[in-house]
Amino acid sequence: MSPQAADIRAFSIALGDDALVLGQRLAEWVSNAPSLEEELALANVALDHIGRARMFYGHAAEIAADGSDEDSIAFGRDTRTYTNLLINELPRGDFAFTIVRQFLVDAFNVPFLTTLAASSEPGLAAIGEKAVKESAYHLRRSRDWMLRLGDGTAESHDRAQRAAEELWGYTRELFEPFGAEARLTAARVITDRAALEDAWRREVGATFVEATLQVPQSTWSIRGGRDGVHTEHLGYLLAEMQFMQRAYPGQRW
């Protein structure tokens, strides 16, 4: 594997981890959602993310050609080799927390995947082209919910505001490329995610205003996901998700 192929593989796995971990968090709402329609919506969005993870992992496995596959990548790694951004792994919280997180991530994913679709690497470009259509639909819904929660009852407003305050420090990481990604950016295989930050702040800020919410003013931020340094929450998620393959390695249906 050339050094650049190794970088594409690492980048593809990182994006797969983002999608898989968030997909798992969304799937936790199945049988717990506030209404049947919301349950279907959350499950559908979860499936889109898990399907996206499968495509990124499959692409990584194809590049490596080392006998790995999407399952071994998903089920055969521990927290220190998971490289998802921290915002995706935070516990689902209440409905407001799930929605605010989804909105912040969707609002990033739409422009990010649009640029990925223009990648010079055909595999990444194809996944970006496919996934951006889905994220655009997710954003329509999560943005709509932002307005309804923020401009809804005093209770829903407070919960949405609290969620935004809790999440804000995790959003900085969205705009920080890690080693492999920075090299791919320098080689013009992909474009720089840092360049998306200003437009994201404007878009998110405009929705917060419309939803009568305050854009958090906190200045702390936290990072580490891409280095495999996670919050205490990821280990529990992986333990549950990976239990079967850990107990019965290589077991198939």
- Closest by Cα among 71, 106, 64 to 87: 106
Distance CA 253, CA 154 (A): 49
Q: How far is CA 70 from the centre of its chain?
A: 17
Distance CA 138, CA 51 (A): 14
Tokens of 16: 């797969």
Q: Which one among 6, 126, 147, 182 touches other proteins, defined by CB under 8 A? A: 126
Nearer to other proteins, 50 or 213 (CB): 50
Distance CA 147, CA 33 (A): 19
Which region, judged by CB under 8 A, interacts with other proteins, from 49-57, 96-104, 159-167, 237-245? 49-57
Cβ within 8 Å of residue 209, ≥6 positions away: 215
Residue 143 touching other proteins (CB under 8 A)? no
Which region, judged by CB under 8 A, interacts with other proteins, from 8-16, 133-141, 210-218, 220-228? 133-141
Residue 246 touching other proteins (CB under 8 A)? no
Tokens of 79: 């927290």
Q: Which one among 4, 28, 93, 137 touches other proteins, defined by CB under 8 A? A: 137
Residue 7 touching other proteins (CB under 8 A)? no
DSSP-derived letter for residue 215 is P
Distance CA 244, CA 162 (A): 36
Residue 55 touching other proteins (CB under 8 A)? yes
Per-residue x/- mask for other proteins, residues 67 to 106, rule CB under 8 A? Answer: ----------------------------------------
Which amino acid is present at 211? A
Tokens of 10: 């690492």
Cβ within 8 Å of residue 171, ≥6 positions away: 87, 104, 108, 221
Q: How many residues sit close enough to other proteins to count as binding (CB under 8 A)?
A: 29
Residue 190 touching other proteins (CB under 8 A)? no
Q: Which one among 3, 67, 122, 250 touches other proteins, defined by CB under 8 A? A: 122
Which parts of 194-223 interact with other proteins (CB under 8 A)?
none
Distance CA 30, CA 132 (A): 24
Nearer to other proteins, 6 or 125 (CB): 125
Which region, judged by CB under 8 A, interacts with other proteins, from 9-17, 118-126, 164-172, 185-193? 118-126
Chain contacts with other proteins (rule: CB under 8 A):
23, 37-38, 40-41, 43-52, 54-55, 122, 125-127, 129-131, 133-134, 137, 140-141
